[in-house]
Structures are given as C-alpha cells and as structure tokens.
Structure 1
Amino acid sequence: MFIRRLPDLLLLSLILSFVPCDAGGHQQDERIAAPKDTADSRTFTVVYQYLQKQADRQAAQRRGRQVSIILLQRERWQQLPDCPVMPDIRLSELTAGGRVSIFLVCPVIDEVTDEVAKGWKQRLSAQIDFVVPVLVVGRDLARGEVPGHLHAEERAFSSVRQGLFHHPRELDGYVTVRPVRAGTIMTADLVKKAVVVRRGTPVTIIASSDTVTLTTSGIAADNGRIGDIIPIKKDNGRVIRCQVMNAREVRPAATGGNHSP
C-alpha cells in the first residue's frame, strides 16, 4: 500500500515557507535545510518537507515524539534534478526498523502541445525514528500468567518490535503464552486473550439502555474470552448470543437495537 499526495501550487508555497520548531520554539534547521551541493534545492525541500510531515503523522499514530530523519544514500538526494512542476510523491509503509522508500515522478509538460511528456523518476530512502512509550516487565512471568508488574519507559521506535502496549489496561483479559523475562518490552506476540468464562459457568446477563438496566442469570454454553460472542442459556431455557464482558458478566450481542434479557 502506498501513501499518495498531489499538492497544488498554493500548498507548495506554504510548504516552502514552513520551518518546524521544537517544543521550545527553536527552529530545527538540521531537519529542513537543503544541502548546498544539491542540484535543485527547491525539489529537495519539497520532498523533504513532505517526508517530515509524514514522519510526524507516523509518530503521532504511535504516540511518539522527538521525530528524527536520516537520509540514506544521500548522494541521490543531492543529485535530484530540477522538476518544473510539482512531482508526484509516494511513500512506502514504514518498516519495523523505521526505513521508508520515497518514489518520485516528475512529469514534464510540453510547452507546445501542453501535454505530459517523458520526465524523470527517482527512488530515495530514509530512516524515520522517534521515541515511543512502552511497557516493560518488572519481574519474570511464567507461561499463562496475567501480565503484571509493568512499568512505563520510552524507547526508540527503530529498536522495538511491532504490537506495543502503552497502558496496563490494554492487557486486561490477557495471559502470557510463554515465560517472559524481567526487562522485556511487552508486545502482542507474548500474550493471548485468556478464557475467562467456561462452559457450564453461571453468568449474569446485563442489558441496558440510556434509562434502564435489566439483569438476569444464565449458564455459559461455551468457553469465552473477553470480547467473544458465545451462547448463553437463560433460566427459561432460551439460548441467546452474548458478548463476554468479564468472568461473571455478559451482555446480549448487538443486533441493531436494545435487548431485554
């Protein structure tokens, strides 16, 4: 999948005049200044400013901060030819290590026919990094244990795996799938949803609307994890499908309206 953007000339003028600032209001010149030996500083600046905006967006999606950009194969950046029109810029998906590819297409307009003539293409590379919050295990955990003794730290995005957790509440209803050593960053591959309701277990069925809450009892007809939809046999013998809320409570599965237990 590619991220595509075709900015117009007005946006170009805004991009060229934009200089980002850090938290203290100081200009981050090292992030936006084009090298003196680039063939065309305008093309470099347009591409780099676009890359910076995308990097900030990627960091925000992951609750990151302190974004940095490293240009890879810098000679390609320094040899960007002139593009008389706005180039087509596409970015690859950000890899786990922070690498990203930038694909440029510069269409050249024939001044006589006003048609698109053969232009140039270029592929650039960069590494995007930023600090992200993580949860670190404070003591050794056994297989099948509820993740606990967690504390928050910050790590470089390029040094951690995918599937991070940012708050202990995100691990409610999970257990470890294997032993986890103290100091390990908690990631999705280390845990799974635990079975909290087992077949034959009594549960409370809770149905609510904006003004009223009704409860009744039932028996689980299948095992279920938090969030699972399982059949529940009510006291009157009727079987309904419910979503598991916790080890003792379920609620009727949504089917387009309020439910009465």
Structure 2
Amino acid sequence: MALPASSAQAATASTQIDQALRQHLQPALEREARQLGWQQPRLSLDLSLPASVEQLPACSRTPHAQSLSGRQELLARQRFRLSCTQPQWSQDVTAQAKVSVLLLVARHTLDRDQALSAEDVKIERQELARHDRSFFGKVEQVIGQTAKRRIRAGQMLTAELLDAPLWVRRGQSVTIVARHDGIEASTLGEALANGREGEIVRVRNRSSEKIIDAQVIGDGVVTSTWR
C-alpha cells in the first residue's frame, strides 16, 4: 500500500514497521477469533527494535513483513524481516503479539459444586497468555454449570474449572424409574451422592430401604432395572 507523500514524510521507519506487523498478523488474529470464539479481540505489539532503526529513512509504502520463525503461532514471540523497496532497506526485528478479549470471570467467590447463574459472573477484558484456550466469552455458555473447586472472585472461568450441572444432589429426594420388558414403574428414593447426567450414584429406595446403584437420567430422576 503506497503512502501519500505527506504521510511518508511524517512517518518514521519504526512506526511503519509497527504498522506492517499489525497488518501481517491481522489475518491470523481474525482466524483465531473465528475458530476459538474470541469476543472483540484487540491486538498490540511488544517490539524489540535495534537502535539502527532510528537511522532508517521512512518507506514510500508500507514495508513488507516476512516471518523468520518456523512455527507461526499468533501469541508466540517471533522474528520478522521488514523490507522496503523505496528507498531500499531491510531490517530484522523481534515481536511479541499480545491479544486482549472480553471473557467471563467470577463476580465473587464460588464454592465447590455451586451451580452458576448470570449473577455469579461478569465480563472483563483481559490479555491472553499463550496457552489460554478454554475460557468462555458468553454468559450463556456457563449458566447451570458447577464449580469443580473453589473459584476466587475475579478469576478467569475455564473449562478446567467447571463441570456439567448436578442433576442429583446428596440427600435430595429423587424419582427412581425402573423399566423391565416394556413395563415401567417409579418410586421415590434418596440420593446418597451427587450425580451428573449419565453418572451412577447410590440411591436408597424409601419404600424398601434397599440401597441400589442407579443412573442419573434427568434433573432429580434416576433409573434402575429390576433384577
């Protein structure tokens, strides 16, 4: 992209290098945002420029940026070669891309096995670390999920910290559904452990006082088979 004469005169090589690298990294930023669901990403650069850059004349057009790093991860520290055709020069630089996004954090302390509601979370802009991939950008993604362990106020919510909703809680009254040869019957029981969808929990049948293993199939519903 050619620069107007006035812009080229006002620009410096260092600002042009910064602009060229931002343009070079923008497609990667947009690709990551689409694939990972980043909300309103913003890109900044931590540039390591040698002192000799101050002696370079401004380029008549945006310099061409070429990555010199084998593995081109957006958030990895990389080396680039910037080339100008008029006047002719090239310069190698090191740059660290930094990306901030809108993501969910705990509004207050969350206890283990606590089910999350919209009031338990808030959206904040935070800078991402290189391996941050499993965070959440939308409130509806975490509603009903439960905390695997205690989460402090302001902590980023990630998939590693949350679990599927608890459909059965220890001490809760549950419906035991039994099926056999097309016949279905139900009775009341008491859950002796917490359980999520598909998990097997111990349940006490309130009619017989017998303790059975039952699979969680719904909110407050477990299933067993006659033997």
Q: State TM-score, norm by structure 2.
A: 0.49
Larger relative contact order (CA 8 Å, sep ≥ 6): 2
Greater fraction of residues in strand: 2
- The structure with the largest alpha-carbon Rg is 2
